[in-house]
């Protein structure tokens, strides 16, 4: 029998751990899998911890999309199928000189019907007139900037008060500088001349599909995915080594040597599941151009503050799931989630409201503030938005430095060049994770599955 093949996975976020699990599960040849993680804990951008008497409140991601299969399938594979839950039907709002319900009939903020904006106080009469002529406008010139495209179709107000808040809150981005192609739901609406008509058709088609919740999460929080992935990888013989920051990859006559802060590992194949910019320095040793391209990636930082607000301070009129703040209205807070309204299982016994408040995004830096300052900024912004003074009984500050990769216009052309360059100079090395083909958990899982299949295909050629 031949010696086991050696696979190294760099990064123990959801993409790295799922890559490791898939290689271990599907390999038809003996294989050793080693996951190298720079931090002292696994999970990367996913963390769930106790808060305000609740056993599990997410510090980052709190749900994943279920209209695409990958995360749901992973949760089932890990045995979480029966312990999943979905958000309540509390509505979300946008704050612009007051709260406005997010209208129905939108596709990620793009109007699918004229009534989506005609009856909303969010858009001024002039803004409504401008948006209403969209179907009459000639085709828009080719552009990969979401902002350029949507502004030219519907005018500035629809872009700034609907599309940008909805897309911006997912990617922590300024969608004037974000790739249209990287948001496939919106990119699909540019195939026809009128975005409004295309969105109308897309919504009608979606309405014919299966009904049901759009998001789901394990009752124990998204961290349960990481916990179970870790257990499964380990039980299949995989090794997960924390505190091992990869500093270089050298090509050998056969395979690669991966150097870390603690030593060296031999590899026949490597999955790079660490953020693009962090990977630049160790990829540069293999392929200068690939290193340069990775180094050009930008990643936005955010801070997420979780607060418990005593029941006596929470106004009963605030029954929604939370609100987004359009960029022109933002001071520091970009969104606030009324967690105990959004999730039935986040209701402490004393009736407190669990709030999750997001500060910062691409172009709005907040990481230089200390925690006290951040908490004060969040409370001052919420006083402006909600009209109430709140004194939290408990506060937790989660800093997510460089956590949201920014897909600049023409992202996929850069990615193609990166993969082509590295594919030619370093066969058997593949990328997976949020920096590349989608930042949501389902997209990270999907990329991990593909990376693992490519890895197995490479091993079969050795």
Q: Euclidean distance between the first and final Cα of the chain, in Å?
A: 15
Q: Kindly state the smallest distance separating residue 39's Cβ from ligand FAD, in Å.
A: 4
The residues in 419-438 that bind ligand FAD, with binding defined as CB under 6 A, are 433-434
* 288's tokens: 């200068």
Nearer Cβ to ligand FAD (188/248): 248
Q: What is residue 196's DSSP assignment?
A: H
Q: Does 38 bind ligand FAD (CB under 6 A)?
A: yes
Q: Does 283 bind ligand FAD (CB under 6 A)?
A: no
Cβ neighbours for 305, distance < 8 A, ≥ 6 positions apart: 355, 356, 357, 359, 374, 375, 378, 395, 396, 397, 398
- Rounded to a whole number of angstroms, the CA Rg of the chain reads 23
Q: Does 444 bind ligand FAD (CB under 6 A)?
A: yes
Which one of 111, 127, 223, 275 is in contact with ligand FAD (CB under 6 A)? Answer: 275
Q: Does 246 bind ligand FAD (CB under 6 A)?
A: yes
Q: Does 439 bind ligand FAD (CB under 6 A)?
A: yes
Segment near ligand FAD (CB under 6 A); pick from 58-66, 75-83, 347-355, 374-382: 58-66
Q: Kindly state the smallest distance separating residue 214's Cβ from ligand FAD, in Å.
A: 11
Q: Does 216 bind ligand FAD (CB under 6 A)?
A: no
Q: Kindly state the smallest distance separating residue 16's Cβ from ligand FAD, in Å.
A: 6
The answer to whether 109 and 189 have CB atoms below 8 angstroms apart is no
Is the Cα torsion angle 276, 278, 283, 288 positive or negative in sign? Answer: positive
Strand boundaries in 168-297, DSSP class E: 215-218, 239-241, 246-251, 256-260, 264-267, 269-272
Nearer Cβ to ligand FAD (154/282): 282
Which one of 36, 107, 112, 451 is in contact with ligand FAD (CB under 6 A)? Answer: 36
- Which residue matches tokens 């394990």? 218
Nearer Cβ to ligand FAD (199/271): 271
The residues in 297-326 that bind ligand FAD, with binding defined as CB under 6 A, are 302, 304
Q: Does 13 bind ligand FAD (CB under 6 A)?
A: yes
The residues in 115-154 that bind ligand FAD, with binding defined as CB under 6 A, are none
The answer to whether 73 and 276 have CB atoms below 8 angstroms apart is no
Long-range contacts formed by 364-370: CB under 8 A, 24+ apart: 364/330, 364/332, 364/334, 365/301, 366/301, 366/302, 366/303, 366/332, 367/301, 367/303, 367/399, 367/401, 369/303
Nearer Cβ to ligand FAD (167/441): 441
* Residue 387 region by backbone torsions, left for phi larger than 0, else alpha for psi between -120 and 50, else beta: left
Q: How far apart are CA 340 and CA 324, in angstroms?
A: 17
Which one of 366, 441, 451, 459 is in contact with ligand FAD (CB under 6 A)? Answer: 441
Which one of 5, 16, 430, 431 is in contact with ligand FAD (CB under 6 A)? Answer: 16
The Cα-based distances of 31 to 19, 406, 431 in angstroms read 13, 35, 19
Q: Does 400 bind ligand FAD (CB under 6 A)?
A: yes
Which one of 9, 31, 46, 163 is in contact with ligand FAD (CB under 6 A)? Answer: 46
Q: Kindly state the smallest distance separating residue 182's Cβ from ligand FAD, in Å.
A: 13
Nearer Cβ to ligand FAD (106/300): 300
Strand order, beta sheet including 239-241: 239-241, 31-36, 5-10, 269-272, 429-431
* Residues at the interface with ligand FAD (CB under 6 A): 10-16, 36-39, 44-46, 60-64, 245-246, 273-275, 278, 302, 304, 400, 403, 433-434, 439-441, 444
């Amino acid at each position: 029998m031949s010696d086991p093949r050696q696979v190294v996975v760099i990064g123990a976020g959801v993409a790295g751990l799922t890559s490791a699990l898939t290689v271990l599960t599907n390999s038809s040849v003996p294989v050793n899998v080693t996951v190298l993680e720079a931090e002292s804990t696994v999970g990367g951008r996913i963390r769930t911890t106790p808060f305000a008497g609740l056993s599990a409140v997410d510090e980052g991601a709190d749900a994943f999309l279920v209209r695409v299969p990958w995360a749901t399938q992973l949760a089932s594979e890990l045995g979480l199928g029966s312990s999943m839950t979905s958000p309540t039907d509390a509505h979300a709002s946008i704050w612009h000189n007051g709260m406005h319900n997010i209208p129905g009939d939108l596709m990620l903020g793009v109007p699918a019907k004229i009534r989506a904006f005609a009856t909303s106080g969010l858009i001024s009469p002039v803004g409504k007139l401008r948006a209403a002529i969209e179907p009459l406008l000639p085709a828009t010139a080719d552009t990969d900037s979401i902002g350029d495209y949507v502004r030219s179709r519907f005018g500035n107000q629809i872009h700034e008060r609907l599309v940008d808040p909805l897309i911006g809150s997912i990617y922590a981005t300024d969608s004037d500088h974000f790739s249209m192609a990287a948001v496939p739901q919106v990119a699909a609406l540019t195939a026809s001349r009128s975005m409004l008509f295309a969105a109308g058709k897309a919504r009608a088609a979606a309405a014919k599909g299966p009904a049901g919740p759009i998001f789901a999460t394990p009752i124990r929080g998204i961290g349960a995915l990481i916990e179970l992935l870790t257990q499964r990888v380990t039980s299949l013989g995989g090794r997960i080594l924390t505190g091992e920051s990869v500093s270089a990859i050298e090509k050998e006559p056969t395979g690669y040597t991966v150097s870390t802060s603690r030593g060296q590992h031999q590899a026949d194949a490597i999955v790079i599941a660490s953020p693009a910019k962090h990977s630049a320095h160790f990829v540069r040793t293999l392929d200068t151009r690939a290193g340069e391209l990775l180094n050009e990636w930008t990643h936005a930082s955010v801070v997420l503050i979780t607060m418990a607000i005593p029941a006596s301070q929470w106004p009963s009129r605030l029954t929604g799931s939370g609100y987004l703040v359009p960029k022109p209205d933002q001071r520091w807070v970009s969104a606030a989630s009324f967690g105990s309204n959004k999730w039935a299982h986040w209701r402490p016994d004393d009736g407190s409201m669990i709030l999750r408040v997001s500060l910062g995004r691409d172009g709005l830096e907040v990481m230089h503030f200390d925690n006290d300052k951040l908490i004060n900024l969040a409370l001052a912004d919420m006083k402006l938005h909600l009209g109430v003074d709140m004194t939290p009984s408990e506060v937790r500050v989660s800093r997510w430095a460089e956590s949201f990769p920014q897909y600049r216009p023409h992202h996929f052309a850069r990615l193609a060049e990166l993969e082509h360059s590295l594919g030619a100079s370093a066969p058997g090395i593949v990328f997976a994770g949020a920096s590349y083909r989608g930042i949501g958990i389902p997209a990270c899982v999907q990329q991990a599955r593909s990376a693992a299949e490519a890895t197995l295909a490479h091993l079969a050629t050795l």
